[in-house]
Structure 1
Amino acid sequence: MSKDATIRRLVRRETHSSRAVPSIVTATLVAAVSLWLALESVLWLLKDQPLLASPAQMFRWLIELPANTTQAGMVAAGAGLGTLALVLFGVAFGRGRRQRRSIAGGRAAVVVDHEVIAAAVSRKVRRATGLAPGQVTTTVGGRTVRVQVRPTSGEPLVAADIQETVDGELAAYAMDRPLRSSVHILNEGAVGQ
């Protein structure tokens, strides 16, 4: 396997969540129910006492279930099973991305958390504008970086300059998936900063 393929595999492992735990739990539950049903069937064929219920008893219970259960109970059970199915489909087919990004690292795989990127962008904006630490807030999402700036009272800021600073900082990271940035300057300023 080439070095590039190994690095790509490592980056994918760090940036995507594993589905091993839900898969193992689901497979264990399905295997346990299947083994129990198989054991009940074998005991029924051997005309032995069932552990919980014989296949004939289970079939009869299933046939009589609508008559013995209230309509609200059937709806609730159906909604519960539907919700479980949606959760399992969501886990199976969801994006599964962690809050991390791969950046250019030359000879090594470099993965950083979104929080680290947000802190670095905030620091760069604070230094470029001369603001205090509490006046710049950055959030990094799946595709966007949002910078919120609270200026010092009486000192106007130019949004285009801050946008250029943010874009320059993000370009310097050379991330695998580019981020769109937006800058929002609040109307109320900080007093005495």
Structure 2
Amino acid sequence: MTSAVLKRVVRRETHSPRTVSTVIVLALVVVAAIYVGVEIVLHLLGVGPLLVAPGAALTWLQELPDQHQGLVVAGGLLAAVAGVVLVWFALGAGRRPKHELGSSSYAVLVDNGVIASSVAERVRRELDLSKGAVVVGVGHRSADITVRPAPGQPVDRRHVRAVAESELAGYELSPRVKVRARVLRAADGEAMS
């Protein structure tokens, strides 16, 4: 496969499509268009409307600003919120919890949970901590590491961060991940510096 094809595959696998929101918006538009079309056809045939005759609806909309200013403001705010939500859906990243490994000539994608598990295991082994003493969460651009050492076991936050950065550097993740480390006291759960 060419590099362009691999990049496209990686992009499709790391970003979620907007299919559901698109289908919902299009379904609403289609239903509204069908309703308006049915009302217009019924009006042209001289049959009573299903809900509101097109002429009556237009007259009501024309008189609305004069009689019910609160409804106009509420409708405008509702339309603005709907517009902001739709723009957010359209422009938002929609990232899936995966990263691309750069250490291979193939397209290799790894779930963030797998990366977190391997980093936690490396930190745990390197610092000789008990199982469950290291909790790692990996996001799109950051990895949060929380260490709870046994009472009396000294652990340096900078060393935890260095071990985690070393492990992550070996994966050559794309996009890069910034490491944040915390060391908690075993008794009261407060962060130590």
State the TM-score bracket (shorter-chain normalisation). 0.7 to 0.9
**Is it true that 1:131 corresponds to 2:110 in the alignment?**
no
Deviation of 1:14 (Å): 1.3
Identity %: 35
Task: State the TM-score, normalizing by the size of structure 1.
Answer: 0.84
Opposite residue 84 of structure 2, the aligned amino acid is L
1:121 to 119, 122, 128: 119
Opposite residue 135 of structure 1, the aligned amino acid is A
Tell me, yes or no, if the aligned pair for 2:143 and 2:180 is still in contact at 8 Å.
Answer: yes
Partner of 1:88: 86
Higher mean displacement: 133-142 or 105-114: 105-114
Q: Tell me, in whole angstroms, the C-alpha distance in 2 between the residues paired with 1:80 and 1:134.
A: 47
Partner of 1:39: 38
Task: State the TM-score, normalizing by the size of structure 2.
Answer: 0.84
Tell me, yes or no, if the aligned pair for 2:103 and 2:171 is still in contact at 8 Å.
Answer: no
Structure 1: runs of 5+ lacking an equivalent:
none
Post-superposition CA distance 1:43-69 (Å, at most 9, x none): 333434333322101112223435665
Structure 2 matches for 1:1-193, cutoff 5 A?
2-66=1-65, 69=68, 71=70, 74-104=72-102, 106-186=104-184, 188-189=185-186
Q: Tell me, in whole angstroms, the C-alpha distance in 2 between the residues paired with 1:105 and 1:46.
A: 70
Q: Tell me, in whole angstroms, the C-alpha distance in 2 between the residues paired with 1:62 and 1:149.
A: 62
Q: Tell me, in whole angstroms, the C-alpha distance in 2 between the residues paired with 1:119 and 1:61.
A: 62
Q: Tell me, in whole angstroms, the C-alpha distance in 2 between the residues paired with 1:131 and 1:164.
A: 16
Q: Tell me, in whole angstroms, the C-alpha distance in 1 between the residues paired with 2:169 and 2:43.
A: 69
Deviation of 1:76 (Å): 4.2
Opposite residue 106 of structure 1, the aligned amino acid is S
Deviation of 1:156 (Å): 1.2
Opposite residue 136 of structure 2, the aligned amino acid is T
Q: Tell me, in whole angstroms, the C-alpha distance in 1 between the residues paired with 2:180 and 2:21.
A: 37
Q: Tell me, in whole angstroms, the C-alpha distance in 2 between the residues paired with 1:70 and 1:176.
A: 52
Q: How many residue pairs are counted as aligned between the two chains?
A: 188
Q: Give every structure 1 segment of 4 or more consecutive aligned residues whose post-TM-superposition deviation is greater than 6 Å.
A: none
Tell me, yes or no, if the aligned pair for 2:140 and 2:175 is still in contact at 8 Å.
Answer: no
Structure 2: runs of 5+ lacking an equivalent:
188-193
Post-superposition CA distance 1:158-183 (Å, at most 9, x none): 33322221111001111121111122
Opposite residue 89 of structure 2, the aligned amino acid is V
Q: Tell me, in whole angstroms, the C-alpha distance in 1 between the residues paired with 2:46 and 2:166.
A: 78
